Amino acid sequence: MTIHLRWLDATLPTLAVASAALPLLHRVGVLELMAVGGVAAASIWSAVRSAHGAATSAAALAADRAQQAINADEPVPASCGGQLPPLLRGILPVWREHVESVRSQTDTAVGDLVVNFSAITEQFEAAGFKGTSHPTANGQDTTISLLTLCERELQPVIAAMTRITDSKGALAASVHELSVITGELQTMASEVAGIAAQTNLLAINAAIEAARVGEAGRGFAVIAKEIRSLSHASAKTANYITGRMAQIMTIMRSTSEAATQAAASDKIAIELSGTVVDDVLSHVRELSVEAQTMLGQGNVIRSNIEALIVSLQFQDRVSQVIGVVDKDMARLRDTIDSDAALPSADQWLADLQSHYTMKEQRRSHGTSAGGSAAAPSAEPAAALFF
């Protein structure tokens, strides 16, 4: 039976190391959770931690107590050897239940944690903190592209409207200049009417003088009559021109006033439009800055989420460790039940070691044989493609 104790002396440290791996749960990801998920995730985490505390300590305590009993009982009393197999038959199923409880509770709780964490992540992303590892083709955010588009499209519109207003101003100036020239023409028409009146007066005088001369002045009388007719026609045409010029002047004055008013109104409208466009661009610039800030924060959150996903995989690794220990306890129970001779501790440990899948299991195995403390591997390895 001494071999039983030697075997346990060699094996129980491995179980203790496996149990000690569970407090890793307390170490990983709390800060990331607080940073990313806030109070909700932290409280879920707290629930996970407390749920596993009892089960973890039960498995660790059982291993510690067995180890202490073995250490205290050296050398082995003869009576103790016969009691050990029944003791182990009684204890091992309970240990296995505790270990399985730890594994299933951890798995369920971490699964729940991830589901809740997914919901929190979705809320962050819905709020705009998505972040991206894939920038647009030109390396800019959509909002910045919108700003560039606004500046490129809106500024030429304002410039075109300004040019139209300038053209209207030039038109008003031309109309004003035309009205000045028309006024001069009206004056000239009045002068022509005055000349016609004087010519008529002159023709009357010529007719009077021709009548006084008698028969010799008859020819002059005819000419004077024709000149009077021409002066009447000239006066009539001059008056007609003056009247039409007055009408034109009235129309041109109102046209000029309307053009001036339209140019003034357009100028005000364009100035207002320019102000509105500047305001819009200013808002878009502010949005762009905010979007850049949110993008940066989103990338921080994204990075934290990725780190948290790596950290939370501790459960799977712990489960692997516990699973191997659990199978080894089952093997011990089967071996005791079979009443066959127990292998040596070295043989048993060699078989146990053959079931390891991870580096930390091999390191833990080395630690129990006097090596350094085991540290979990949390660094993802590169993918291997076939």
Partner 1 sequence: MAKTVLIVDDSSSLRALVKLSLSRAGYAVIEASDGKDGLAQLDKAAKVNLIVSDVNMPNMDGITFVTHVKQHARHKFIPVIMLTTEDESAKIAQAKAAGARAWLTKPFNPPQLLDAVGKLVLA
By the criterion CB under 8 A, which residues form the site for partner 1?
Answer: 106-111, 113-115, 117-118, 121, 125, 133, 305-306, 309-317, 319-320, 323, 357-359, 377-386
Q: What's the min distance (Å) between Cβ of 382 and partner 1?
A: 7
Q: Let me know: does 172 contact 260? Beta carbons within 8 Å.
A: yes
State the Cα–Cα distance between residues 354 and 7, nearest whole angstrom: 17
Q: What's the min distance (Å) between Cβ of 270 and partner 1?
A: 47
The residue among 100, 21, 7, 105 whose CA lies nearest residue 60 is: 21
Q: What's the min distance (Å) between Cβ of 146 and partner 1?
A: 24
Q: Let me know: does 67 contact 110? Beta carbons within 8 Å.
A: no
Q: Which is nearer to partner 1, 9 or 107 (CB)?
A: 107
DSSP notation for 343-365: PPHHHHHHHHHTT--SHHHHHHH
Q: What's the min distance (Å) between Cβ of 294 and partner 1?
A: 17
Q: Which is nearer to partner 1, 7 or 117 (CB)?
A: 117
**What type of residue is 84?**
L
Q: Which is nearer to partner 1, 7 or 124 (CB)?
A: 124
Distance of CA 290 to CAs 89, 270, 301, Å? 67, 30, 16
Q: Let me know: does 340 contact 1? Beta carbons within 8 Å.
A: no
DSSP notation for 35-91: HHTHHHHHHHHHHHHHHHHHHHHHHHHHHHHHHHHHHHTPSPPHHHHHHHHHHHHHH
Q: Which is nearer to partner 1, 256 or 319 (CB)?
A: 319
The residue among 119, 164, 147 whose CA lies nearest residue 266 is: 164
Q: What's the min distance (Å) between Cβ of 42 and partner 1?
A: 18
Q: Which is nearer to partner 1, 228 or 302 (CB)?
A: 302
Q: What's the min distance (Å) between Cβ of 23 and partner 1?
A: 17
Q: How many CA atoms lie within 13 A of 325 on its CB side?
A: 34
In the structure encoding, which two tokens stand for residue 146, read together? Answer: 């919108």
Q: Which is nearer to partner 1, 287 or 310 (CB)?
A: 310
Q: Which is nearer to partner 1, 64 or 125 (CB)?
A: 125
Q: Which is nearer to partner 1, 41 or 189 (CB)?
A: 41
Q: What's the min distance (Å) between Cβ of 300 and partner 1?
A: 15
Distance of CA 72 to the CA centre of its chain: 64
Q: What's the min distance (Å) between Cβ of 117 and partner 1?
A: 7
